[in-house]
């Protein structure tokens, strides 16, 4: 057993030595550097989606385009289109889409837009191959595309700015939203001493970024530096409000601020709103006041008329304390309304000032840097308001080349009185007649007649271009903007009918007395038929019923022979007023021995 154990021990020792030797051999092999084991060289290439180049005139894409107020379908082309084409006939829909809408062309001429399309629906657009580009090339073939309009983008904003909400029975602050379920709104109350500064910096509402509400560069020592809203107002309430409405429905919701105790204190409030869960650096803002005082102000040259009334009952509010605050928030003028709610202040308007009206717990305010009548929410166009106006008119708005244009006008101030210059003389006017191509045909100065009446006359040449002419009035000939204007049509046309009136000075003729004819001709559009040819024929017959009150009775001798055919008696031209007066002798057969009816029929020629 002992020998066997020693033998086993020797065998194990030899095995261990063999294993160590093998490990060393392997270790030596592993330690050698493998030249093919380094990192490979950089290779591969980025996958890029390349848009196929479009050559010639082609339709690039059709896509839903959401504007500020509506959802539209836009169609983009590779080249500008001819703007005078009938796009509503060249681009149609298989379904009934946007009743009353029409295609509009973009300024660059490459995009057509069709507004008021249904949301979240697929429409079939058919484009005619006759569509023409500005260079004369055509689309070539008819195309049909499917366009999915999708949903409206979420949007929310205040519906009004500067609202005065009655302290009682107010529906709340109006908010317009689309596809927005909830909003977070923070309310701040503007300090009374900061009112002028607030209206100077935050006179408009709408969307604002954080850099506007809390500018990091604000410097208290710099008077021109814009202060953050926290320097002008203090936060009083914040909450989340739930908005109603179905998907893709534009809905008006009133935030119930009348039930919030923190917002019942009279004064001016500033509201900041954002969509719940949204973290864009942009907020919708609005300012409003809570009061029962309705404030109406009229500014004159050196006076200020103020009227106060209750928003709840509409009745005048007497005893309302009025104060005018300057840019620093300090009162510079004060007054009080009488028993009728009126006050006439000996104060000249200053745009940097703010007027406040206080009675009990109610306070209202009106900044003088706001528009006197804010019509920004309405589609109002035309020239800006002025202290005077020109009221122009013409007997007609359609003339032919060769005729004389006659235009009348009145120049009046705000009170409807004739305008006079500083030296007491009447103000003259400059009238400009412009051709359809925009070129000035004539410009002249006209002086007023009695009661500030102006009259302008100008003959249009026979070779004048036809179309829509413009008559413009100015007080300064160098001014680019006309005070008033009107359009006239100069056209070569033949009216469908002319008007001819025939009359006689005598209802009954005696024997030997001529037929005194009076003819008057005119065109139906108003111009007299001056120098037009006029012809007339005379016919006579026995009148057996000369008395209207004796229709059943017969008079005269029916056997008297009179000319049976009408005779030509007049062939002449009307005068400049389109009139003709001529005596027509009756036939010799009319001797006065029986009642005779004389009939004159006239013809007026172009």
CATH of the domain at 97: 2.60.40.1220
What is the distance between the alpha carbons of residues 389 and 409, in angstroms, rounded to a whole number? 10
Indicate if the pLDDT at residue 17 is higher than 80.
no
Instruction: Give the strand pairing for 91-93 and 71-77.
Output: unpaired
What order of strands is seen across the sheet that includes strand 122-127?
Answer: 91-93, 122-127, 143-148
Residue partners of 306: CB distance under 8 A and separation at least 6: 295, 296, 297, 322, 335, 337, 342, 343, 344, 345, 355, 357
Tell me what pLDDT residue 494 has.
62
pLDDT, one tens digit per residue, over 435-457 is 988 889 999 999 988 888 999 99
Lowest mean pLDDT among 232-241, 335-344, 374-383, 401-410: 374-383
Do 262 and 171 share a structural domain?
A: yes
CATH of the domain at 399: 2.60.40.1930
pLDDT, one tens digit per residue, over 364-377 is 888 887 776 766 66
Do 462 and 476 share a structural domain?
A: yes
372 inside domain: no
Do 302 and 284 share a structural domain?
A: no
What is the distance between the alpha carbons of residues 165 and 519, in angstroms, rounded to a whole number? 69
Model confidence at 26, pLDDT cuts 50, 70, 90, reads very low
User: Chain centroid to CA 32: how far?
Assistant: 86
Tell me what pLDDT residue 36 has.
58
125 inside domain: yes
Domain count, the chain: 5
Tell me what pLDDT residue 49 has.
62
Tell me what pLDDT residue 20 has.
43
51 inside domain: no
What is the distance between the alpha carbons of residues 147 and 132, in angstroms, rounded to a whole number? 22
Do 548 and 482 share a structural domain?
A: no
pLDDT, one tens digit per residue, over 522-531 is 988 778 889 9
Pick from 236, 260, 290: which residue ends a domain?
Answer: 290
Pick the closest to residue 563 from 547, 527, 587 (CA basis): 587
Indicate if the pLDDT at residue 186 is higher than 80.
yes
Residue partners of 598: CB distance under 8 A and separation at least 6: 509, 515, 538, 539, 540, 586, 590
21 inside domain: no
List the beta strands (DSSP E) in 379-477: 388-394, 398-399, 404-413, 429-434, 440-446, 453-459, 467-474
Do 134 and 159 share a structural domain?
A: no
CATH of the domain at 576: 2.60.40
Do 285 and 165 share a structural domain?
A: yes
Do 520 and 461 share a structural domain?
A: no
**Residue 296, both tokens:** 């109406």
Tell me what pLDDT residue 96 has.
86
pLDDT, one tens digit per residue, over 65-118 is 887 667 889 999 999 998 888 899 999 998 888 777 889 999 899 999 998 888
In angstroms, the Cα distances linking 578 to 326, 345, 442, 529 are 69, 62, 28, 5
Long-range contacts of 130-137 (CB under 8 A, 24+ apart): 130/90, 131/81, 131/85, 131/90, 131/91, 132/81, 132/82, 132/85, 133/57, 133/77, 133/79, 133/80, 133/81, 133/82, 134/79, 134/80, 134/81, 134/82, 134/109, 135/57, 135/79, 137/56, 137/57, 137/79
18 inside domain: no
Do 250 and 173 share a structural domain?
A: yes
pLDDT, one tens digit per residue, over 117-152 is 888 889 999 999 999 998 889 988 899 999 998 888
pLDDT, one tens digit per residue, over 582-602 is 998 888 888 778 888 888 999
Q: Are 309 and 294 in contact (CB under 8 A)?
A: yes
27 inside domain: no
Do 309 and 297 share a structural domain?
A: yes
Do 556 and 520 share a structural domain?
A: yes
109 inside domain: yes
Pick from 245, 275, 290: which residue ends a domain?
Answer: 290
- Give the 3-state secondary structure of 304-331: EEEEEEECCCCCECCCCEEEEECCCCCE
Residue 352 vs residue 100, higher pLDDT = 352
- As to burial, measured by CB atoms within 10 angstroms (0-12 exposed, 13-18 middle, 19+ buried), residue 534 is buried
Can you give the residue range of the structural domain that contains 116?
Answer: 59-148
26 inside domain: no
Pick from 490, 510, 528: which residue ends a domain?
Answer: 490
Do 144 and 79 share a structural domain?
A: yes
pTM for this prediction: 0.50
Indicate if the pLDDT at residue 575 is higher than 70.
yes
| Phi, psi dihedral angles at 426 (to 5 degrees) | -70, 140
Do 425 and 484 share a structural domain?
A: yes
């Amino acid at each position: 057993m002992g020998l066997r154990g020693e033998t086993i021990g020797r065998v194990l020792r030899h095995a261990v030595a063999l294993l160590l030797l093998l490990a060393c051999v392997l270790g030596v092999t592993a330690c050698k550097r493998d030249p093919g084991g380094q990192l490979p060289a950089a290779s591969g290439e980025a996958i890029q989606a390349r848009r196929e180049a479009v050559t010639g005139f082609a339709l690039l894409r059709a896509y839903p385009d959401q504007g500020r107020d509506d959802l539209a379908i836009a169609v983009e082309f590779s080249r500008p289109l001819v703007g005078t084409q009938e796009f509503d006939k060249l681009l149609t829909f298989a379904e009934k889409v946007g009743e009353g809408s029409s295609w509009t062309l973009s300024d660059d001429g490459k995009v057509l837009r069709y507004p008021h399309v249904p949301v979240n629906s697929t429409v079939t657009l058919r484009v005619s191959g006759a569509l023409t580009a500005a260079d004369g090339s055509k689309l070539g073939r008819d195309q049909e595309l499917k366009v999915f309009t999708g949903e409206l983008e979420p949007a929310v904003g205040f519906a009004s700015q500067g609202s005065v909400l009655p302290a009682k029975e107010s529906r709340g602050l109006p908010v317009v939203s689309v596809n927005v379920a909830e909003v977070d709104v923070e309310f701040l109350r503007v300090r009374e001493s900061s009112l002028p500064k607030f209206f100077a910096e935050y006179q408009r509402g709408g969307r604002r970024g954080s850099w506007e509400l809390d500018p990091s560069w604000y410097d208290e020592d710099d008077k021109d530096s814009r202060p953050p809203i926290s320097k002008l107002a203090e936060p009083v309430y914040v909450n989340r409000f739930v908005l109603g409405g179905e998907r893709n429905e534009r809905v008006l919701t009133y935030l119930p601020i009348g039930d919030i105790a923190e917002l019942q204190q009279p004064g001016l409030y500033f509201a900041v709103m954002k969509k719940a869960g949204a973290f864009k650096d942009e907020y919708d803002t609005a300012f409003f006041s809570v009061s029962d005082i309705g404030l109406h102000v009229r500014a004159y040259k050196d006076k200020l008329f103020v009227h106060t009334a209750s928003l709840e009952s509409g009745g005048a509010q007497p005893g309302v304390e009025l104060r005018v605050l300057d840019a620093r928030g300090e009162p510079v003028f004060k007054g009080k309304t009488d028993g009728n709610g009126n006050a006439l202040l000996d104060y000249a308007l200053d745009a940097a000032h703010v007027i406040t009206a206080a009675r009990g717990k109610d306070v209202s305010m009106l900044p003088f840097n706001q528009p006197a009548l804010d019509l920004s929410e309405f589609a109002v166009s035309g020239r800006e308001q002025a202290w005077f106006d020109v009221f122009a008119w013409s007997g007609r708005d359609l003339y032919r080349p060769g005729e004389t244009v006659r235009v009348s006008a009145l120049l009046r101030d705000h009170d409807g009185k004739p305008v006079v210059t500083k030296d007491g003389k009447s103000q003259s006017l400059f009238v400009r007649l412009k051709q359809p191509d925009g070129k000035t045909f004539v410009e002249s100065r006209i002086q007023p007649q009695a009661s500030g009446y102006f009259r302008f006359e100008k003959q249009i040449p026979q070779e004048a271009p036809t179309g829509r002419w413009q008559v413009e009035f100015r007080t300064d000939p160098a001014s680019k903007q006309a005070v008033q204007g009107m359009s006239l049509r100069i056209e070569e046309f033949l009216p469908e009918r002319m008007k001819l009136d025939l009359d006689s000075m005598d209802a009954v003729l005696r024997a030997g007395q001529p037929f005194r004819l009076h003819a008057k001709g005119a065109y139906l559009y108003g111009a007299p038929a001056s120098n037009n040819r006029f012809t007339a024929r005379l016919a006579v017959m026995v009148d057996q019923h000369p008395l209207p009150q004796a229709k059943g009775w017969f008079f005269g001798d029916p056997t008297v022979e009179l000319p049976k055919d009408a005779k030509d008696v007049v062939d002449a031209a009307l005068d400049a007023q389109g009139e003709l007066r001529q005596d027509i002798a009756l036939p010799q057969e009319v001797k006065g021995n029986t009642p005779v009816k004389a009939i004159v029929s006239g013809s007026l020629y172009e």
